[in-house]
Structure formats: C-alpha cells, structure tokens
C-alpha cells in the first residue's frame, strides 16, 4: 500500500507478470499524474507468481574443467556430423566420409550357361572299303535308337523274306554255323537253318528280341546284301532295287510311328530323335548303299556278277551325330499338376473379375464386376476337377 503524509493509503502496488503496477484508490487519482512510472527497489516477486520471461545475459557462466575420466571419454567417443564421423587420431581429427548404401538389386536367377558343344569324331572311307563301310553302318544304325531299330530290322526281314516261315521254319534261337557241324550247344542241328544271308554269329531269333550288338550286326549284313539275277538288275535300273525297297520301308515306318513310341524318352526328345533319323541317318545310309551298288556294277568282272573289286571308289566323309540334350522331365503327374495351377490362375483372372483389392478399387470408382452365369453342372465339374 502507498501512504501519504497523513499516513492514509492512497493506492496499492502489486506485480503482474513480473512488472510493478500502481493503482490509485478511488478519490486519490490526483496523486498520480498521467505517465507516472513508479521506480523503486522492492523485493522480487514471490515464487507463486508467474515468472517473467528470462533474458539471456551477456555474461557467460564459467565452464567447469572436465575431470580426468570425462576428458578420456571425450577423446575416445567419435563425433557424428552430416558429412561423416570424426575420430581423434594423434593431434588432429580425421573425418570418415559416409558411404552410400546401394539399393538391393532385384533377386534374379543366375543366367544359364550355354552347354558347350561336344566335338564329335569325324571319319572318312572310300566306297568299296568293306571295313570302313562296316564301321559307318554300325555307327549310323546305333544312332537310330534300339527301340526304333528293332522295328526297322523286323520290317527289313519281311521285305527280304516275305515267306520266311514257310521256307525256313520258325525261329529256333540257334546260331547259323556251318552245315558240317552235327551238334550245336549239345543240341541237334535243325534241318531248317534259316536264310543263308543270316549272319553266323547272330542267333536266329526274332529281331525284336535280339540284343543291341546282334541287332546292329544283322542290320549291317542286310545293308551289304546284293542281288545277282538279271530280273533284279532290271529292277535296280528301274529304281526299284533292294536298297530302295529297304529305304522306303524304313522311311515309311519311321514317318508313321508316333513320337511317343519312337524311344523311351519324353515326347519332345523322341520327336527330335525321330526327325534326326528321317533327315540325317536314312539319307546317308541310302547314299552309301547306292554308291556301293554302282561301284560293284562298274567294277564287276562279268555281267551280272556282284563281287567287290579291289579298286576303291569315291571318298565319303562323315561325323558322328551328337545326341540331343535330355531336358528334365517331371512326368505326366507333374505336368498335370502344373496344368491345374495354370487353370486356377486363369480362372481367377477370367472368373469373378479381379482379386479382392482390385475389386475394391473398381467398386470405389463406381464399377461393379459382372458375375458370369454358371450353371450347376459347370459348378459341380469345377469342384470335381479341383
């Protein structure tokens, strides 16, 4: 309270937000002229009052000296900045720049390495060289495949001996040795020995039951067969000789044989093997056999005689064929499972329209998916198939 000389209160003093405010009592306003500012040293405001906004003083407080342990920790601890991290090294600071972390690349399977092509051995021989021709026939007949070769040799036997059963009797599973032998493997030699052109080291067995080596030997013997009659000479000059008949029989059989039955592999591999036999193997067999037949006719000692001449004919070069690559095949069951999965995906896309998220987006845009009309029979079939 403020008092006058008469010691009567004339006003009140209080602090508002840390500032001194003077307010005159009613009837004593004349004691306080306008613009009067009271300035006197009073006690600071009580802590209950709201503190005045702090003003930063120009005098800085004295910094405390760090202790021994704090100084060591400050030297050891790195300082992180925008450019990188600073480390204390010796007497100066060393800044290590930040390394940009590359974005992780999308996971992709490693590229498949191309399979190196195997260098196949190449050979050559002259027409009339029996040993070289035998080697060629063995290689090419072996490349046909055992499953198809058995059926081809069976067809060739039918072409050579249409009445084999009537002329030579049934197959007796014995080898064709000389007529001088009385016994064969402790068994009496049958009267019907089989065709004279049948190789001696090949059992007289149906070609479908012969092992691969005996089957190839029988095929090579058939390829070397030559006729010596005048009628067959006319057939040869008319383009209907033995070699042409054998080639046409093999070509017709392979072309009409389904790919599934050509070999024991999967369909794609069988189709490649079948195409290779038609385009590469059979034409070369026909070419060499015809050249050999012409060579014998030209170099024959007498008319109609078909004996090989010591003189050699044209040079023929060939290379062994590389087998096609067998790709991994999971089987019919795995293929059916994959087909079912593909059908499920197709049904999701073509069925009700879209996934739940896409359906919600279309509904927000005001587009509703059109529900297809499905009959009860179709629904039951879909349930049974899945």
Same domain, 127 and 24: no
Q: In 3D, which of 163, 138, 384, 186 has the Cα closest to residue 285?
A: 138
What percent of the chain is modeled with pLDDT above 70?
49
Name the token pair of 45. Answer: 């405001």
Q: Are 37 and 43 in contact (CB under 8 A)?
A: no
Same domain, 213 and 308: yes
Domain limit, last residue, from 25, 40, 55: 40
pLDDT of 200 strictly over 70: yes
In a domain, 4, yes or no: no
In a domain, 360, yes or no: no
What pLDDT does 138 receive?
A: 93
pLDDT band at 15 (very low <50, low <70, confident <90, very high): confident
Averaged over 26-42, what is the pLDDT? 61
Residues 41 and 287: their CA atoms lie apart, in Å, by 132
Per-residue b or e along 71-102, where b marks 16 or more CB atoms closer than 10 Å to that residue's CB = eeeeeeeeeeeeeeeeeeeeeeeeeeeeeeee
Same domain, 140 and 249: yes
In a domain, 381, yes or no: no
Q: Which of 24-38, 161-175, 211-225, 241-255 has the lowest mean pLDDT?
A: 24-38
Total residue count of the chain as it appears in this document: 386
Same domain, 286 and 160: yes
Domain hosting 29: range is 13-40
| Number of folded domains that form the chain | 2
Same domain, 155 and 21: no
pLDDT band at 180 (very low <50, low <70, confident <90, very high): very low
In a domain, 272, yes or no: yes
Residues 214 and 146: their CA atoms lie apart, in Å, by 11
pLDDT of 238 strictly over 60: no
18 versus 161: the higher-pLDDT residue is 161
In a domain, 101, yes or no: no
Same domain, 139 and 287: yes
Q: Of the ranges 19-23, 200-204, 351-355, 369-373, which is most confident? A: 200-204
Tell how many helices (H) and how many strands (E) occur in the chain: 13, 10
Domain limit, last residue, from 275, 290, 319: 319
Q: Are 351 and 358 in contact (CB under 8 A)?
A: no
Per-residue b or e along 293-330, where b marks 16 or more CB atoms closer than 10 Å to that residue's CB = bebbbeeeeeeeeeebeeeebeebebeeeeeeeeeeee
294 versus 380: the higher-pLDDT residue is 294
Q: In 3D, which of 284, 312, 307 has the Cα closest to residue 297?
A: 307
Give the relative orientation of helices 242-256 and 282-299 as an angle to the nearest 10 degrees: 180
Averaged over 183-187, what is the pLDDT? 47
Q: Are 271 and 259 in contact (CB under 8 A)?
A: yes
153 versus 265: the higher-pLDDT residue is 153
Averaged over 239-251, what is the pLDDT? 81
Same domain, 26 and 169: no
Same domain, 35 and 174: no
Domain limit, last residue, from 319, 348, 374: 319
What pLDDT does 137 receive?
A: 93
Three-state SS for 269? Answer: helix
pLDDT of 40 strictly over 50: no
In a domain, 77, yes or no: no
Same domain, 154 and 32: no
Q: Are 136 and 318 in contact (CB under 8 A)?
A: yes
Same domain, 128 and 244: yes
pLDDT of 230 strictly over 50: no
Q: In 3D, which of 286, 270, 321 has the Cα closest to residue 147?
A: 270
pLDDT of 325 strictly over 60: yes
In a domain, 277, yes or no: yes
In a domain, 298, yes or no: yes
pTM for this entry: 0.51
pLDDT of 302 strictly over 50: no
pLDDT band at 1 (very low <50, low <70, confident <90, very high): low
What percent of the chain is modeled with pLDDT above 90?
8
* pLDDT tens string 94-145: 565 666 766 655 556 566 666 666 677 788 888 888 889 999 999 999 999 8
What pLDDT does 87 receive?
A: 52
**C-alpha pair distances (Å), 191 with each of 172, 228, 304, 374:** 11, 26, 31, 76
Same domain, 172 and 29: no
Sequence-distant (≥ 6) Cβ neighbours of residue 373 within 8 angstroms: none
- Measured at the CA of 284, the angle between CA 280 and CA 285, to 5 degrees, comes to 120
Same domain, 150 and 25: no
pLDDT band at 163 (very low <50, low <70, confident <90, very high): confident
pLDDT band at 272 (very low <50, low <70, confident <90, very high): confident
């Amino acid at each position: 309270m403020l008092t006058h000389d008469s010691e009567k209160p004339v006003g009140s003093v209080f602090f508002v937000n840390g500032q001194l405010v003077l307010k005159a009592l009613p009837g004593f306003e004349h004691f306080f002229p306008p613009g009067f500012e009271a300035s006197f040293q009073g006690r600071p405001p009580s802590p209950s009052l709201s503190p005045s906004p702090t003003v930063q003083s120009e005098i800085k407080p004295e910094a405390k000296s760090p202790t021994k342990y704090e100084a060591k920790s400050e030297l050891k601890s790195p300082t992180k900045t925008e450019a990188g991290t600073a480390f204390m090294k010796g007497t100066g600071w060393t800044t290590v720049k930040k390394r940009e972390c590359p974005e992780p690349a999308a996971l992709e399977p490693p590229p498949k390495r191309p399979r190196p092509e195997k260098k196949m051995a190449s050979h050559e021989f002259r027409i009339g060289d029996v040993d070289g021709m035998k080697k060629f026939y063995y290689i090419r007949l072996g490349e046909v495949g055992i499953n198809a070769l058995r059926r081809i040799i069976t067809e060739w036997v039918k072409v050579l001996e249409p009445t084999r059963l009537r002329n030579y009797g049934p197959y007796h599973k014995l080898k064709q040795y000389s007529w001088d032998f009385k016994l064969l493997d402790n068994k009496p030699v049958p009267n019907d020995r089989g065709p004279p052109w049948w190789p001696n080291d090949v059992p007289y067995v149906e070609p479908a039951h012969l092992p691969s080596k005996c089957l190839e030997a029988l095929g090579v013997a058939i390829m070397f067969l030559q006729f010596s009659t005048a009628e067959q000479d006319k057939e040869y000059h008319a383009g209907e000789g033995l070699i042409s008949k054998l080639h046409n029989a093999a070509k017709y059989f392979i072309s009409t044989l389904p790919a599934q039955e050509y070999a024991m592999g999967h369909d794609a591999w069988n189709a490649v093997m079948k195409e290779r036999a038609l385009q590469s193997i059979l034409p070369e067999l026909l070419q060499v056999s015809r050249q050999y037949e012409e060579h014998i006719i030209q170099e024959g000692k007498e008319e109609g005689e078909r004996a090989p001449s010591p003189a050699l004919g044209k040079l023929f070069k060939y290379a062994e064929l590389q087998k096609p690559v067998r790709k991994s095949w999971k089987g019919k069951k795995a293929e059916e499972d994959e087909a079912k999965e593909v059908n499920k995906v197709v049904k999701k896309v073509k069925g009700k329209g879209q996934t739940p998220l896409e359906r919600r987006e279309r509904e927000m845009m005001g587009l509703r998916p059109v529900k297809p009309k499905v009959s009860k029979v179709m629904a039951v079939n879909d349930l049974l198939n899945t």
